[in-house]
Amino acid sequence: MSENRLEIRKTYKLLVNGAFPRSESGRTYEVVDAEGKFIANVAQASRKDLREAVVAARAAQAKWWSQSAYNRGQVIYRLAEMAESRHAEIAEAVELSEGVKSKEARKSVSRGIDRMVWYAGWTDKIAQVFGGANPVAGPFFNFSLPVPSGVVAAVAHPTNSFEGLIDVTFGAIAAGNSVIVLASSDRPVPAVLLGEMSAVSDFPGGVLNILTGKVEELAPVMASHEDIDGLDIGCVQATEHTALISAAAGSIKRVFEGQGFDETTAVRRLRTFIETSTVWHTKGQ
């Protein structure tokens, strides 16, 4: 192969409804590495792309939730497998994007993948942990069953490009929601890679939608869109929270503001995007 081969530059696209469209607006923006050197062009999603993603997510959510909890866990685990086999590629993207040492990048990717497996394990335990039988005064069984909120929109961490995407995305997905996640604006490449891997991991199209673009443009639309049931803004600048929360109040969304990716916060995330459905059943004799 010739040494002076032309570089093949990439334009990364969105992940909406299991497909990889460009932004309907036709916009892209340049992503640079930690030293300011060009990495790639990335699609800049518009609010109409978000709208399309919501339509897809809404349709996909029923399908996702109708699968068995065991099956959902398998699908998430499958994505973790895919990510593991392309560990080096993701780590390279993280290293380049964040400007960290390669060992650190690899560790970060490992932690992210492990967390994904952790969420895969949660799918069939959510009902056991967050649901249960309630004591009632009468000859009835009374059960509390956790059901997903529906469509959840999330903003990924601005700097922690891979790990910072996993929690905001897979917490809600493990609970049976479909998710539209806005990847880190400045460091979207690891997220986009994960999106590409999800295409071969049996997610029904529309369960996982990854947008790339600007937080200030899309987060307010996520908050005000009536057909989104949950909003994860833990990774958005604290100064923006009040405005986003009041916009979200218009359609009584569940809002998660927790920060950090420790296990306690992760469990709180899982709990945020579920609703409790209570069922009565006669005991018989």
Partner 1 sequence: MTSSALRLVTPDSTGIEIPTRKNLPTFVTESGLRTELKKLSGIDAVGAEARIAKLSTRSLKKETKKYAIDLAISMVDLTTLEGADTAGRVASLCTKAMHPDANNLSVPSVAAVCVYPDMVANARAVIGSSPVHVASVSTAFPSGRASLAVKLLDTKDAVEAGADEIDMVIDRGAFLSGNLFKVYEEIVAVKAVCGTAHLKVILETGELVTYDNVRKASWLAMLAGADFIKTSTGKVGVNATLPVALVMLEAVRDFAEEYGELVGVKVAGGIRTTKDALKYLVVVNETAGSSWLTPEYFRFGASSLLNDLLLQRTKQLSGNYARPDRFSGD
- Binding region for partner 1 (CB under 8 A): 51, 54, 58, 221, 224-227, 250-251
CA 232 from centroid of its chain's CA atoms: 9
The answer to whether the beta carbons of residues 190 and 136 sit under 8 Å apart is no
CB of 14 to partner 1, least distance (A): 18
CB of 31 to partner 1, least distance (A): 28
Structure tokens at 5: 């081969």
Q: Which is nearer to partner 1, 227 or 263 (CB)?
A: 227
Q: Which is nearer to partner 1, 55 or 82 (CB)?
A: 55
Q: Which is nearer to partner 1, 120 or 151 (CB)?
A: 151
3-state SS class at 27:
coil
Q: Which is nearer to partner 1, 22 or 271 (CB)?
A: 22
CB of 249 to partner 1, least distance (A): 12
| Ramachandran quadrant class, 134 (left: phi over 0; alpha: psi -120 to 50; beta: rest) | beta
CB of 47 to partner 1, least distance (A): 8
Q: Which is nearer to partner 1, 32 or 221 (CB)?
A: 221
Rounded to whole angstroms, how far apart are CA atoms 238 and 90?
29
Closest Cα to residue 51, out of 148, 147, 150, 151? 151
Closest Cα to residue 197, out of 82, 117, 90? 82
| Number of CB atoms found within 10 A of residue 282's CB | 9
CB of 211 to partner 1, least distance (A): 15
Structure tokens at 230: 């949950």
CB of 152 to partner 1, least distance (A): 15
Q: Which is nearer to partner 1, 157 or 225 (CB)?
A: 225
Q: Is the dihedral angle over the CA atoms 169, 170, 172, 173 positive or is it negative? A: positive
